[in-house]
Structures are given as C-alpha cells and as structure tokens.
C-alpha cells in the first residue's frame, strides 16, 4: 500500500470515435461532420486513466476481443502504469466500440455502443479472481457488467468500498437490486429517474431523489445535472453545487472525469466529502475544456486551483 489509493475499475475499455456536426444537428437526417478523434475509451477506462494521471494505483478488469483493437486497448492502459492483468481477451469476440456524435455546440446528440463482449464478464469468469479483487480496497464498477455479476460482486465485497457508475439510463437499472449495498453512487438525472422513478426538473425534485436513495441505504450520492450543476447528499447533509466557470470544447467524458476527481480525493484518508465534490467539479470542468475524454497534460495544481472555486449551498 502507498499513500495513494488502490482502486480497481470494473467495466468498459474499448475504442471511442467522436464526431462533431459542422452545421446545426438535424435528427433522422444526414449530417456533415468532422472527426475529432478515435481513441481508447469506455466509462471504466476513462475513470481509470484520470485516476492514474492523478497519481493513484489503478487496476482494470474488463473484457476485450481477441483482435488488434483489444491489443491496443491493453497496451495503452499498460503504458500509463495501469495494472491490466484482469483484462480478459475473449476468443471469437470483437472489442467493443462507442461512437459519439456531438452537435455543433459540442453537446452529445447521439451515442451508439456495441458492448456484447462485456456480457461475458460472468460470475464464472470473476469468481476465480475474488481473493485478488478484494486486495483492492476500492472498487469502481460500471454498469456494463451483467446484472448477475454486479449482484455477485456486491454480495462478496466484504469491507471493500463499492462505487457505482451508472453509464446510461438503459444500463443504470442493473444497480437496482444492490442499492442497499452501494457505498457511493454518482448518476445523472436520467439515470437517477430509472433508479428512483422521480423525474428531475428542479432542485426540489433532485433533493427528493437523493433522500430516497439514502433511504435505500446508500451513504454517499451525487446527481449531476449538466450545465445546471450538481446535487450531493452524504452524512454532512444535502447540497447544491454550481458548475465551475468553463470554456466548453467537448463535454464527452466530463461525467466520467467528475467521478475520477471525486474518487481520487475521497479514497484518501481524512478527505472530506465536500473536498471530494470540489475535486470532481474541477475534473469535469477541465475535461470539458479539452477535446476528447482525457486531459493528458493534467496536473494536481490545475485541479486544486479549479477546485478552490467550488461553491456549496445547503438544500
């Protein structure tokens, strides 16, 4: 163990392709675009990379195809110093892929995902590694894992902190059976609606939703509201956080970056929930000012300086 946290990230590691409309986005029509990038991506991978760039000891558990894309994903993570020994190459499968289409302003207009290989992260494949998995005191689990595997991990986590990343509204439902076993949940408003049944259009509704989730047994909850800000709830109370001043270039990956900033801070001894919130907001802001999902020139000083601008309002 080192002073920095040992975190194991479960879930998606694949290739992201990001395109942006050069004119006003029109649904159900041909839209002229430019290619911004094609890089390794995935919710768990995005969080793992920023966690590593923030100085943490990070491992990744996921599945890739037995193909060139899979080799490149593993190599890119290994070069950053991320432990890839739990990344499984599945014979006969293709590495997953995600394509994001941004509108002319940089907001996500459409996302398309091929994630069949993640369905093979079954209990049978996880169980032989449980002792090694439990050696990491923090688990970041994204909802690309099958529901049964998520339930098995939650039942067998022992003293490990189980942190849920909801991924999307369609996949967030996979955490419903284990809400009482989560230690941390971070979700956007659409994903929160799936878990609570509450439509969130204002702060009052967000407060009801987080208090309902705390009633399920989750001690720490964050609901991100995009450009409106963030609502949090913990032992220190429920609060609203304004978004930090940001010169937006590309919001793709900002939510994952929030998670990495929060978890990097919160997993360290004696760090308060509010300080972790400020770190998460800073990472989201810095990432939104970057094309692509990763701030490769990230520094702790930049995060600290941006985090100092965070403001908390009690709800």
Q: What is the pLDDT along the chain (315 residues), one digit of tens a residue?
A: 344 559 999 999 998 888 999 999 999 999 999 998 888 889 999 999 999 999 999 999 999 999 999 999 999 999 999 999 999 999 999 999 988 899 999 999 998 888 899 999 999 999 999 999 999 999 999 999 999 999 999 999 999 999 999 999 999 999 999 999 999 999 999 999 999 999 999 999 999 999 999 999 999 999 999 889 999 999 989 999 999 999 999 888 899 999 999 999 999 999 999 999 999 999 999 999 998 789 999 999 999 999 999 999 999
pLDDT in tens, 117-175: 999 999 999 999 999 999 999 999 999 999 999 999 999 999 999 999 999 999 999 99
How many CA atoms lie less than 13 Å away from 249 in the CB half-sphere? 12
Query: Does 168 reside within a domain?
Result: yes
Residues 6 or more apart from 50 whose CB is under 8 A from it?
Answer: 256, 257, 260, 261, 264, 283, 287, 294, 295, 298
Query: Does 132 reside within a domain?
Result: yes
Q: Where are the extended beta strands (E) located within the chain?
A: 6-10, 14-21, 33-41, 57-65, 83-90, 97-102, 108-114, 138-142, 161-165, 184-188, 220-224, 230-234, 237-241, 312-314
Which tokens sit at 199? 């439509």
Query: Does 35 reside within a domain?
Result: no
Query: Does 82 reside within a domain?
Result: yes
Query: Does 140 reside within a domain?
Result: yes
- The range of the structural domain enclosing residue 182 comes to 6-11+43-89+116-314
User: What's the structural domain count of the chain?
Assistant: 1
Query: Does 106 reside within a domain?
Result: no
Q: Where are the extended beta strands (E) located within 48-193?
A: 57-65, 83-90, 97-102, 108-114, 138-142, 161-165, 184-188
Q: How far is CA 147 from CA 141, 143, 213, 255, 262, in A?
A: 11, 8, 19, 22, 25
**What CATH code is carried by the domain that includes residue 291?**
3.40.1190.20
Query: Does 96 reside within a domain?
Result: no
């Amino acid at each position: 163990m080192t002073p920095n946290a040992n975190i194991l990230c479960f879930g998606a590691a694949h290739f992201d392709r990001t395109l942006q409309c050069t004119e006003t986005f029109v649904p159900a029509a041909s839209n002229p675009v430019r290619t911004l990038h094609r890089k390794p991506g995935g919710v768990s991978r995005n969080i793992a990379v920023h966690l590593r760039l923030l100085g943490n000891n990070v491992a990744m558990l996921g599945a890739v195809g037995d193909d060139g894309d899979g080799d490149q994903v593993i190599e890119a993570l290994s070069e950053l110093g991320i432990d890839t020994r739990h990344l499984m190459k599945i014979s006969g499968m293709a590495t997953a892929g995600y394509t994001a289409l941004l509108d002319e302003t940089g907001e996500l207009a459409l996302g398309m995902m091929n994630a069949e290989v993640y369905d093979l992260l079954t209990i049978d494949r996880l169980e032989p590694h449980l002792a090694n998995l439990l050696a990491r005191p923090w688990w970041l689990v994204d909802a690309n894992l099958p529901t049964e595997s998520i339930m098995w991990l939650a039942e067998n986590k022992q003293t490990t902190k189980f942190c849920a990343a909801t991924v999307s509204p369609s996949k967030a439902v996979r955490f419903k059976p284990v809400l009482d076993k989560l230690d941390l949940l971070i979700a956007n408003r659409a994903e929160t609606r799936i878990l609570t049944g509450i439509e969130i259009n204002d702060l009052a509704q967000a407060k009801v939703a987080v208090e309902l989730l705390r009633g399920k047994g989750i001690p720490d909850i964050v609901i991100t509201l995009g450009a409106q800000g963030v609502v949090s709830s913990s032992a220190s109370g429920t609060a609203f956080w304004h978004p930090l001043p940001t010169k937006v270039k590309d919001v793709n990956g900002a939510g994952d970056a929030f998670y990495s900033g929060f978890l990097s801070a919160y997993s360290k001894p004696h760090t308060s929930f509010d300080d972790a919130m400020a770190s998460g907001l800073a990472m989201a802001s810095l990432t939104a000012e970057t094309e692509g999902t990763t701030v490769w020139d990230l520094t702790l000083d930049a995060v600290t300086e941006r985090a100092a601008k965070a403001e908390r309002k009690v709800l």
